[in-house]
């Protein structure tokens, strides 16, 4: 059932190899690579009547994966995600970029690929991704990614690089709301927000929502303040549907280090309570946890495949695999789930079935 579901979603990918020279069907390579990324194993395939001519060498798999059109692969990924995951109203979708550190052309270290990802912070699936050739190109890549997604009812969070009027407009046009971090790249806006919250900074602790975290010798206190955009001194109507401005005051004390006080500022097209705003800013950092998992648990930065479309397509495979592993409810780390898939083919099938067939409510 899960194999047929994978065929249904990813059969649109064209195989550009000469048919007379094809030993390994493209479907076997794709599905086999997916299972290998999930479980780190090439076992179990014979039972599924795959690779009847033997398991291909890793160089063969890398070469074939590198030949796949990444736009077609990404389109299949997006269609699959729409079929298995439904956004809840108000769900935070975090947008951020990550470098694939092993993806650079060996003659040009500056050619490293940056993948822009959209991550549902609560339910934890990667909603979509898009390649940017360099970090500076993320600003132009983000609107393109947003246009690919169904954002109806979602609250999209982006760091200060994404605080652009074109990005805000794209999110509104797609039926979502935005919560964008503001720094000095938006000078007049940053100054106006800073001025609006000046009385709150002078007043000390807030009566608004406060969050305190204690762990491993660290104490962090966050207080959140929300004002109507009408409190801004100046004309900012060019920011589409701007309704709220937010300040998060973060006091951090770590044993053996000097205490620090930091203020972070945001704009939003949504009328937010202080509790909602603070929760959304915290949920945004879930995408950083996802990036950490990709590196530490799935060895993304260690991957040395870079020729043609290999690095980009393998990033898509890792995101597909991560989404499936995240959906499996057993209380294990991603590393633990991958090990169980390797040792227990029935658990691997359970992950595949949940990921490919069962919609998330």
The whole-angstrom separation of Cα 115 and Cα 102 is: 13
> Which strands form 210-215's sheet, in the order they lie side by side?
126-132, 113-120, 92-100, 155-158, 177-182, 260-268, 244-254, 218-228, 210-215
Q: Give the mean pLDDT of 160-166.
A: 92
Q: Are 267 and 229 in contact (CB under 8 A)?
A: yes
* The predicted structure's pLDDT at residue 216: 59
Three-class secondary structure of residue 345 per DSSP? helix
Weakest-pLDDT range from 100-114, 242-256, 309-323 = 100-114
The whole-angstrom separation of Cα 302 and Cα 288 is: 18
The whole-angstrom separation of Cα 264 and Cα 277 is: 12
* The predicted structure's pLDDT at residue 244: 97
Q: Are 265 and 182 in contact (CB under 8 A)?
A: yes
The whole-angstrom separation of Cα 317 and Cα 11 is: 15
The DSSP string of 90-141 is T-EEEEEEEEETT-SBTTBGGG-EEEEEEEETTT--EEEEEEESSGGGHHHH
Better-scored residue on pLDDT, 97 or 244: 244
Q: Which of 89-93, 206-210, 267-271 has the highest mean pLDDT?
A: 267-271
Weakest-pLDDT range from 53-57, 123-127, 323-327 = 53-57
Residues belonging to the chain: 361
Torsion of CA 280, 180, 312, 71, to 10 degrees: 110
- Is the pLDDT at 146 greater than 60? The verdict is yes
Half-sphere exposure of 283 (CA within 13 A, CB side): 24
- Is the pLDDT at 232 greater than 50? The verdict is yes
Q: What angle do CA 323, 329, 330 make, to 5 degrees?
A: 120
Q: Give the mean pLDDT of 94-121.
A: 81
- Is the pLDDT at 108 greater than 80? The verdict is no
* The predicted structure's pLDDT at residue 39: 78
pTM of the model: 0.82
pLDDT band per the 50, 70, 90 thresholds, residue 84: confident
- Is the pLDDT at 360 greater than 60? The verdict is no
- Is the pLDDT at 41 greater than 60? The verdict is no
Strand-pairing partners, residue 179, are 157, 268
* The predicted structure's pLDDT at residue 165: 94
User: 219 is written with which tokens?
Assistant: 């104490």
- Is the pLDDT at 50 greater than 80? The verdict is no
* The predicted structure's pLDDT at residue 206: 56
* The predicted structure's pLDDT at residue 361: 45
User: 217 is written with which tokens?
Assistant: 């010798």
* The predicted structure's pLDDT at residue 208: 59
Q: β-strands 177-182, 155-158: how paired?
A: parallel
Q: What is the pLDDT of residues 294-340, one digit of tens each?
A: 988 888 888 877 888 888 889 999 999 999 898 888 989 999 998 89
């Amino acid at each position: 059932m899960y194999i047929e579901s994978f065929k249904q979603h990813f059969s649109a990918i064209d195989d550009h190899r000469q048919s007379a020279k094809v030993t390994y069907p493209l479907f076997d390579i794709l599905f086999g690579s997916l299972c290998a990324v999930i479980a780190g194993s090439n076992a179990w395939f014979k039972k599924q009547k795959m690779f009847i001519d033997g398991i291909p060498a890793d160089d063969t798999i890398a070469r074939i994966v590198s030949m796949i059109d990444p736009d077609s692969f990404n389109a299949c990924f997006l269609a699959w995600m729409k079929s298995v995951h439904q956004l809840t109203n108000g769900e935070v979708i975090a947008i951020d970029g990550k470098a694939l550190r092993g993806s650079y052309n060996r003659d040009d270290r500056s050619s490293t690929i940056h993948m822009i990802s959209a991550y549902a912070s609560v339910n934890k699936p990667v909603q979509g991704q898009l390649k940017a050739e360099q970090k500076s190109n993320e600003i132009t890549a983000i609107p393109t990614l947003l246009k690919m997604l169904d954002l109806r009812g979602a609250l999209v969070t982006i760091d200060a690089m994404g605080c652009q009027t074109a990005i805000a407009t794209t999110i509104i046009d797609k039926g979502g709301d935005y919560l964008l971090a503001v720094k000095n790249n938006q000078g007049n806006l940053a100054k106006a927000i800073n001025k609006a919250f000046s009385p709150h900074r002078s007043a000390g602790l807030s009566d608004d929502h406060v969050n305190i975290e204690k762990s491993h010798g660290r104490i962090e206190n966050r207080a959140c303040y929300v004002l109507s955009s009408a409190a801004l001194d100046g004309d900012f109507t060019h920011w589409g549907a701007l309704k709220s401005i937010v300040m998060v005051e973060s006091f951090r004390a770590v044993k053996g280090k000097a205490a620090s006080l930091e203020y972070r500022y945001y704009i939003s097209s949504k009328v937010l309570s202080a509790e909602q705003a603070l929760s959304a800013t915290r949920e945004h950092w879930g995408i950083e946890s996802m990036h950490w998992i990709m590196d530490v648990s799935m060895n993304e930065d260690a991957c040395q495949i870079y020729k043609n479309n290999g690095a980009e397509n393998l990033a898509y495979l890792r995101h597909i695999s991560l989404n499936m592993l995240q959906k499996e409810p057993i209380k294990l780390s991603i590393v633990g789930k991958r090990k169980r898939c390797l040792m227990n083919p029935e658990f691997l099938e359970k992950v595949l079935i949940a990921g490919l067939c069962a919609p998330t409510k």
